[in-house]
Amino acid sequence: MAATEPKGHGHHAGMWVFPDASAMSQDVSAKTLSMPKPFTLALMVTGALFILGIVGFIGRAATDGFDEMAPWGYYMAIFSWIFMISSAAPLAAVAFRFTKSHWRRPLSRVAELFAVVGILNLLMFIPMMFLLPGLGNPGGVVEGQLELRRTIWFEGPIGAPHAWDVLAVASLAVTSMVILLLSAMPDMAESRGTATGFRGWVYNRIAGGWYGTKRQWNAQKAGLALLGAFYFMMIIFVHFVISSEYAQSLIPGWKDSIFPVIYSVTSIQMGLGTCLIVLFIMRRWGGYEGYVGKSTFWSASKVMLGVTLLWAYHLFAFFITFWYGRLEVEQNIIKYLIVESYGIIFLLNLVFSFIAPFVLLIWNPVRRSAWGPALAGLFAIFGGLMFSIRIFVGSANAAKGDEIYAFFLEHVPAPAYPDVWDVFMVIGGIGAAAFVYLASTKLFPLLSLWEVKEGTLYQKWRKFIRGEYLVLGKPE
């Protein structure tokens, strides 16, 4: 183990770890190369689920084709669920790097690796392009004007909506991938001489010219900062595009400025939650306990608690406006998505996105543990799944055919229950995302070596009067 015993007093026992920088590369490299039985089993199970998902997709396509959106509601839901996690997780690395938090160091690579899942997401988005109806109703002209769907594209600039949607999702995936490669470059350079096969080929292509000169570190630091800023600016925009394009614009008359924010907040909660689950697994069963102190969970749990409260606030803000406004369309939307048609799903969404994580995370001893924030993360991703099903299955099935161009939702549609292909696609989608992530951990080290090593320069355990405490250096 390339680490000393965890440090801390009383309530903070085991809070901080001080890895041995000199043995870190070898140790983590060995962990990256190893294929323990549970890992192989997880890879096989998720791989099998991935195949099940492909079967479900083919079954759905063969049964219903791509002309109607309604049969693809569950596909949209699982796309959205994976997208929300894979897009927001890298934000955890970006945001806490901005704030120069030392506790984020073991979390960075775990978060950045979701960029690889983003590529899967991009592929999953292709069929959704075919499903999205055009802006104008080809069969409807009202008072000499073409009847348009209410979208963010208004008059419809060239390429809208399809080309701009693809560009948005692709640019987010590419940016997160570049952030991952730029961040992993120094770590890949360490192993470029010893890595063989595909891994060796990738390391030498990407990190062949990395020597760790001052210029390179400066460019990497500035590059990560700039791309991080752009990523932050893009993710909010792409969340806005997806949530308005595949949810609001498909339910006639749904006009709500708060919904894209709920979408982003749910996504951030799920992204951070998933990172904490992965960190917990790494620490508990992956042999990384010497690198991941409880301080990471403790600090991240406070952010998690804040985001959970934000979720509740935005949900209430959305609900109260519609409930008090009492327009027919607003009442129908509330009945459809919250109270009646998808009432049970909404209840599960509320319990797992807010009540359960909130009740768990208000306790300081739970926040200071490793399992508490990870469990809250598990709740959040289940709640997010319910959110995606409620919103995207609901949106895909709200209006059929030309009804989508109507001014408002005149009735409360019935809920759409999943058939066997839907079940396959949802389970398969979860399996596919897990499979891709697990596979990527064999290519990229799960720990950002250069960042954790940098942390050892600035974090020391020193005596002060009668006790020993963590001393932090802040060079900037």
Q: Which residues bind other proteins (CB under 8 A)?
A: 21-23, 25-26, 145-146, 148, 152-158, 160, 164, 167-168, 171, 174-175, 178, 182, 186, 190, 193-194, 208-223, 226-227, 230, 233-234, 237, 449-451, 453-454, 457, 475-476
| Of the candidates 376, 371, 380, 377, the residue with the CA atom closest to the CA atom of residue 348 | 380
Minimum separation from the CB atom of position 201 to other proteins (A): 14
Closer residue to other proteins, CB minimum distance, 180 or 276: 180
Non-local (6+) Cβ contacts of 337 within 8 A are: 346, 390, 391, 394
Rounded Cα gap, residues 366 and 379, in angstroms: 14
| Of the candidates 305, 304, 151, 146, the residue with the CA atom closest to the CA atom of residue 241 | 151
Minimum separation from the CB atom of position 238 to other proteins (A): 9
Closer residue to other proteins, CB minimum distance, 182 or 438: 182
Query: Could you tell me if 444 and 184 are in contact, meaning their C-beta atoms sit under 8 angstroms apart?
Result: yes
Structure tokens at 56: 């479900």
Closer residue to other proteins, CB minimum distance, 184 or 337: 184
Closer residue to other proteins, CB minimum distance, 190 or 289: 190
| Of the candidates 292, 280, 296, the residue with the CA atom closest to the CA atom of residue 28 | 292
The torsion of the CA quartet 388, 394, 400, 403, rounded to 10 degrees, works out to -110
Closer residue to other proteins, CB minimum distance, 22 or 34: 22
Minimum separation from the CB atom of position 79 to other proteins (A): 20
Chain position carrying tokens 């990395």:
210
Structure tokens at 365: 């001893």
| Of the candidates 278, 343, 288, 350, the residue with the CA atom closest to the CA atom of residue 314 | 350
Minimum separation from the CB atom of position 152 to other proteins (A): 5
Minimum separation from the CB atom of position 76 to other proteins (A): 21
Minimum separation from the CB atom of position 309 to other proteins (A): 29
Rounded Cα gap, residues 202 and 181, in angstroms: 11
Minimum separation from the CB atom of position 303 to other proteins (A): 25
Chain position carrying tokens 């570049």:
178
Closer residue to other proteins, CB minimum distance, 137 or 353: 137
Closer residue to other proteins, CB minimum distance, 151 or 341: 151
Minimum separation from the CB atom of position 29 to other proteins (A): 9
The values of phi and psi at residue 464, to 5°, are -140, 115
Minimum separation from the CB atom of position 163 to other proteins (A): 10
Closer residue to other proteins, CB minimum distance, 62 or 99: 99
Minimum separation from the CB atom of position 165 to other proteins (A): 10
Buried (b) or exposed (e) across 66-81, using 16+ Cβ within 10 A?
A: eeebbbbbbbbbbbbb
Minimum separation from the CB atom of position 440 to other proteins (A): 20
Closer residue to other proteins, CB minimum distance, 83 or 435: 83
Query: Could you tell me if 224 and 182 are in contact, meaning their C-beta atoms sit under 8 angstroms apart?
Result: yes
Closer residue to other proteins, CB minimum distance, 183 or 332: 183
Closer residue to other proteins, CB minimum distance, 234 or 275: 234
* Length reported for the chain: 476
Minimum separation from the CB atom of position 162 to other proteins (A): 13
Give CA 171 to chain center in angstroms: 16
Closer residue to other proteins, CB minimum distance, 273 or 455: 455
